[in-house]
Amino acid sequence: MSTILDVAKLAGVSRSTVSRVISGNGVVKSETRDKILHAIENLNYSPSYFAQGIKTGKTKMLAMLIPDYSNLYYGEMYRGIEQVALENGYMVMICNTDKSSTRERIYAEELRKREVDGIIYNTYKRNKDNIDYFTKLSKQMPVIFMDYIDDKDIDVPYVLSEGFESSKKAARYLVSKGKRRIGYIRVPPYISVVQHRYEGYKQGLIESGIEPDEELVYQCPDNEVGKTHLDVGFEGALFLMNKPNPPDAIMTSTDIMAVGAIKYLNGAGYKIPGDVSVVGFDDIALATIVEPSLTTISQPTRKIGEVAARILLAKINGENDIEDQIIFEPEFIVRGSTD
């Protein structure tokens, strides 16, 4: 690998001048610039990220914390992030926290040491320590949350899609289809984003003249290690369908849970949507793969990733007066699991 000195020699200038043209700071006569550009070309030179970083403090590296690699929701988000990152000379590291708050912290520490320029924080569950930690971190470096923090005292950047209205709409739709006993499978209310979806479901029932029935809500037990949303969906459906008065429709917090529910229902011989309708949330690719295809609420997931990345990059570049709390409105999509 050639160094800046090699380039300088070949171009017959000093290191400083070469540095000016690669960093884009300062003025260089265009002839000189051309000479240097040629030298760079000839030597196939590229500046060392180490040496650059040691002065600028920039790694040109973003990190994305995700709780579960196997949920392709994050994969879709990643594509949006990756695209924006690449366009701007950044790379992004995926950090799989495996739904563990501890691993979130461990990764965050490691990322701090590695001085990544920004962090995209997807969490699975909230504990107060981690909220505090990442909130504090967000004051020191660019961090963007992909979830609400309900605490009004905490002000952090975020990008997410709202779930209340769309879930309400879905619930009302099920009622319009003649369903009356509409169940819900959910994770514990750690995650605000997901909590809003649940509230929308309840409100939809109320507005349709149906009293929400706690009996029809399955909330997965706390702290089940190694359990995926898929498992939760399966178990939730199992639990609800074996009640004395089972539901005739099931809504879920996420698509992957809905897929788990469908898996159970198919296996147990229920007709979907005849016996039971199913509605998910997210619109991951899997939604059109399962049989029947899944009615769901579609998030602009890729777009969410793009926007998050742009906000992060803006902050990294010192633009602090940008809009950094963005909420998307998702879209209700009807497929075979309800029609």
SS (H, E, C) the chain: CCCHHHHHHHHCCCHHHHHHHHHCCCCCCHHHHHHHHHHHHHHCCCCCHHHHHHHHCCCCEEEEEECCCCCHHHHHHHHHHHHHHHHCCCEEEEEECCCCHHHHHHHHHHHHHCCCCEEEECCCCCCHHHHHHHHHHHHHCCEEECCCCCCCCCCCCEEEECCHHHHHHHHHHHHHCCCCCEEEEECCCCCHHHHHHHHHHHHHHHHCCCCCCHHHEEECCCCCCCCCHHHHHHHHHHHHHCCCCCCCEEEECCHHHHHHHHHHHHHCCCCCCCCCEEECCECCHHHHCCCCCCEEEECCHHHHHHHHHHHHHHHHCCCCCCCCEEEECCEEECCCCCC
The entry of its own copies, DNA, none that residue 40 binds, CB within 5 to 8 Å by partner kind: none
Q: Which stretch binds DNA (CB under 7 A): 12-20, 126-134, 232-240, 286-294?
A: 12-20
Q: Kindly write out the interface string for residues 14-33 of this chain, putting x where it contacts DNA by CB under 7 A and - elsewhere.
A: xxxxxxx-xx-xxxxx-xxx
The entry of DNA, its own copies, none that residue 79 binds, CB within 5 to 8 Å by partner kind: its own copies
Please identify which residue in 50, 153, 223, 318 interacts with its own copies, judged by CB under 8 A: 50
The entry of DNA, its own copies, none that residue 327 binds, CB within 5 to 8 Å by partner kind: none
Phi-psi region of 43 (alpha: psi -120 to 50; beta: other; left: phi over 0): alpha
- For DNA, the closer CB: 33 or 303: 33
Please identify which residue in 3, 22, 33, 53 interacts with its own copies, judged by CB under 8 A: 53
Q: Kindly write out the interface string for residues 178-197 of this chain, putting x where it contacts its own copies by CB under 8 A and - elsewhere.
A: --------------------
The entry of DNA, its own copies, none that residue 4 binds, CB within 5 to 8 Å by partner kind: DNA
Q: Does 141 bind DNA (CB under 7 A)?
A: no
Of residues 107-166, which lie at the interface with its own copies (CB under 8 A)? Answer: 110, 113-115
Please identify which residue in 3, 100, 203, 266 interacts with its own copies, judged by CB under 8 A: 266
Least distance from C-beta 48 to DNA, angstroms? 4
Least distance from C-beta 319 to DNA, angstroms? 17
List residues near its own copies by CB under 8 A: 46, 48-51, 53-54, 59, 69-70, 72, 75, 78-79, 82, 91-96, 110, 113-115, 230, 259, 263, 266, 285-286, 289-291
List residues near DNA by CB under 7 A: 1, 3-5, 12-20, 22-23, 25-29, 31-33, 45, 47-48, 50-52, 54-56
